[in-house]
Chain A
Amino acid sequence: MNVEVTGLTRRFRSVNALVEVDLSLGAGVFGLLGPNGAGKTTLLRTLATVLAPSAGRVRLLGRDPADPVERREIRRRLGYLPQSLGFYPGFTVFEFVEYFALLKEVPERRARADAAGAIERVGLAERATAKLRTLSGGMLRRAGLAQAIVNEPDLLLLDEPTAGLDPEQRVSFRALLRDIGRRATVVVSTHLVEDVGTACAEVGLMRDGRIVFRGTPAELAVRGEAHGVGDAPLERGYSAVLAEEVR
């Protein structure tokens, strides 16, 4: 298992952002759904080793992120796209991706080719030498994705990766996720249920810091057959599970 989380709790002062979360994930694409404030971003930041848990046990890629040496090894094999991707406006796409290849300790002799490969994979080769400040929101998102995959990560964490992408880009993005998910663990937090339906083998639904549903997209759709609200089966499943939790 690449992700093993037991009893994970994360508090921000008096607010419990994560409450006793248990999660174990192997290779494949896992979608995280949930309303705003459900804890998706906090869970991803914890898995990205940006946040330390307040309580509970976390093991990533067979290692303990609380140990500095093991954390460094985890981070070498980690890819992370945060919800709000900061960037240096004066960097080109290539410089941005190469910078993170170097920060991820990709050997210097390989960094340039690996950065070029990541840029090709996200379809930004034609804009590789463009300054980041000249890119559209969707292109910036793809540049962010390129830095996340530049080290061929075994654990890829994507927070709202499809925000700003047009429908065509979304389709190729989902294909890329499925491809990466064949050998790595991919966790995708999203508001878009169609992303989950087409790209994810499994889905988790979060509410109030807890994972209240885990199953396949088809199983989630079944939950909404009786009395879910929404235009698509997955949306009905999503709303039905949340409604059950409220009751």
Chain B
Amino acid sequence: MITHPDDPLHVAGCAACRAGAQPPPDVDLGRVWLEVAGRTWSRPRGPVERLASSLLGSPGLARALVTTPSLLRAYVAATAAIFVAGAVFERGTGAPLVAVLAPALAGAGIAYAYGPGADGVFELSRSMPVSGQMVLLARALAVFALNSALGLGAAMVASGASGVALGWLVPMTAVCGLALAVATVSRSAAVGVSAGLAAWCATVLASTGSTGHLDAATTEGWLVPAYVLIAIAGVVVAVRASRQLPAAHD
């Protein structure tokens, strides 16, 4: 029975108290300290990471997802700000700016989602059991979903009471596929963004020139099969290229 456990002088002279004060023999105090240190040093997981962890079934993949360069707070805030500006401009002028902006912004986000040109720890992550292709796909899907949501919100703000136009979703998929493929093959996010933007600008200019409508690239039905083909080809090329970066493993 410990009668004066807080009195070091008493404990030093009392065998019963000393025995009582000893930790159980199976307690690894070093491990306990590391648990305490780990809890002290770590930050709590956010709701997005917790949700991703349960959806993906892998805490590592979930952490890789929330460290996506183009999903960091500053990047998302900048993207949202451009969408808001586009929506306000469209609402004021009637020019369909959101439909033109959405594919370009999503393409840039996708190019900065994965690869040696975008991810600082890419080389190291190539030696991890969590597959690089899974990281690529999870990040690309998340960036696409976020940009779709932001674009949808901007389109709703821009359209007001009239119907929301969603024709930009299909070309957005194509621009994302192209930017992802080029970024992965060239190992440069900047090259991927440039390719996606250049292709999208050329399409918008050409379709505007022939129809006189700024959003023709998102409303012309005959373009849809081409967009779908480009999107599929882009994803296939990106996954194959990520398997071969920088060699054949994975």
Contact = CB atoms under 8 A, between A and B. Distances in A.
A102 B249 contact: no
Interface stretch (B115-123, B143-151, B165-173): B115-123
Interface in A115-157: 115-117, 119-120, 125, 128-129, 147
Contacts, number: 110
Interface residues of A, number: 46
B81 interface: no
A103 B60 contact: yes
A209 to B, nearest CB: 16
Contacts of B120: 86-89
Contacts of A72: 129, 131
Given A52-B247, A112-B38, A86 B126 contact: no
B35 interface: yes
A65 B35 CA distance: 34
A103 B128 contact: yes
A175 B214 CA distance: 67
Interface stretch (A30-38, A75-83, A179-187): A75-83
Nearest to B31: A113
B63 interface: yes
A235 interface: no
Contact of B123 (A86, A95, A147): A86
A163 interface: no
A203 B152 CA distance: 61
A105 B130 contact: yes
Contacts of B34: 113-114, 116-117, 120
A85 interface: yes
A117 B249 CA distance: 31
Interface string B52-93: 000000111001100100001000000000000000000000
A119 to B, nearest CB: 8
Given A103-B63, A115-B38, A50 B122 contact: no
B42 A105 contact: no
Nearest to B45: A108
B127 interface: yes
